[in-house]
Amino acid sequence: MSKAKNLVELLNSKPIVKVCGGFDAMSAKLVELYGFDAVWAGSFAISATHAVPDASILTMTEFFDAASNMTETCKIPVIADCDTGYGGPSNVSHMVKKYERAGIAAISLEDKIFPKQNSLLENGQNDLISEKEFVAKIIAAKEAKQDKSFTIIARVEALISGAGMDEALKRASAYENAGADAILIHSKKKTPEEIFKFVDLWEGNLPIIVIPTTYDSVKIDELISHKIKMVIYANQTLRAAHASMSRILKQMINSNSLSDVSEEISSMEDIFNFVGVPDSTLKYFIDQGLKRNKILIATREEEAIGIAAGMSLFLESPKKKMIKHNELISKYRSDSLVFMQNAGFANSISTITSLVQLYQIPMIFLIGWRGFLENDAPEHMKIGKIQPKLLQALSLQSMILDEKDWKKSCDWALKLIREGKSCALIIPRKFID
């Protein structure tokens, strides 16, 4: 399923879609890990990472690079904040084609003049282009997209500019008629009453999206009761990062030793695990003497399993010559361990069945158990619910990692592989995180 289609299905199936802002690949991945439905690649946050104002200073290329990096890193949809579209209808058409090809799920266009200023900037300029001009951009975007699931969000800034409620409603209707897929209604009021009034008066059929940065006391239940389908927490991750770095830098410059710094920071192991270095369970297997251990990285699960099988069947002898699987296998065999997520395991069932059951090549499967007790990508949610039963159907011995005595679970797997048997160790996601 494409990420664009995933976003549409979320909008159709969930009471409200929760989206959080990211400004680079790491922040976007954290948004995904903590269970949000999608990532908002916001222009304010991305501009701030370049230390420039949110005022149309960066080019489309710089915003696109940031959003595409997030898309490559995450399995959840990315919604790109494309400001005013980087020009006229022709620019919008080019932009839509480029963003859609990159796998970005949706774009947001706003009806302000270029260059724009941030909508929440005190005394900022928030003049609107004409309704006709913005309709032309929406039509260009609609005609340019190839995937009908690619979502075009029309961001109505009439309430921000002071043009009033009637103008906001009139423009939203015009944008729906032009082919927009959703309406983002923006407000800088301290309470949500203005937004609720718009929604109550709105007679259109498109999903409504809000960004409650200024009216942050609004409850999710209130948004749902007013039939708002998506909420975007646009800039909190950026502000948290800025605040945390500011605090620790202030302490570091005045400290005699790093041990004097009281600000809580992530450990090196936290970062190693986050970026994909094998977690502590994998390290334990290596430390416990997996024979002739080597860590090899494969881009797909089937490739990883094939490599693991190859390391058992054809191995280097002490004379550096390849030897076939024979009576020396017990002496020179490599203990094979494959680390994957549960959806990856499901994708590899045919390969696993052949190598483990038919050819009886022993290996340990370390399976990250995602989607069982927490919100996750659809593929992990579905497989996560049946993971133990799936292993049972394959006659593969398995154990859910004992969180209180995880080394005992690892020792169980090591014992089996040294007896020439395959097994699976299921690691709950919360333990890996």
The residues that are catalytic are 54
End-to-end CA distance of the chain: 26
Quote the CA–CA distance of 382 and 136 in Å, as a whole number: 41
- Phi first, then psi, for residue 326 (nearest 5°) are -150, -155
β-strands 397-400, 38-41: how paired? unpaired
Q: Which among 367, 362, 365 is positioned nearest to 309, based on CA atoms?
A: 362
**282 contacts 339 by C-beta, under 8 angstroms:** yes
Peptide bond into 318 cis (omega under 30): no
Token code pair at residue 270: 């936290």
Q: For the chain, give the number of residues.
A: 433
User: Which amino acid, 274?
Assistant: F
β-strands 314-316, 322-324: how paired? antiparallel
Which residue stretches of 102-192 are H helix? 131-144, 158-161, 165-178
**180 contacts 145 by C-beta, under 8 angstroms:** no
Quote the CA–CA distance of 413 and 425 in Å, as a whole number: 7
**204 contacts 212 by C-beta, under 8 angstroms:** no
User: Which amino acid, 2?
Assistant: S
182, β-bridge pairs: 153
- Which helix (H) or strand (E) segment holds residue 40: the answer is strand 38-41
Quote the CA–CA distance of 367 and 242 in Å, as a whole number: 35
Give one DSSP letter per residue of 325-389, joined into a string.
Answer: SSTTHHHHPPPEEEEEEHHHHHHTHHHHIIIIIIS---EEEEEEE-SSSS---HHHHHHHHHHHH
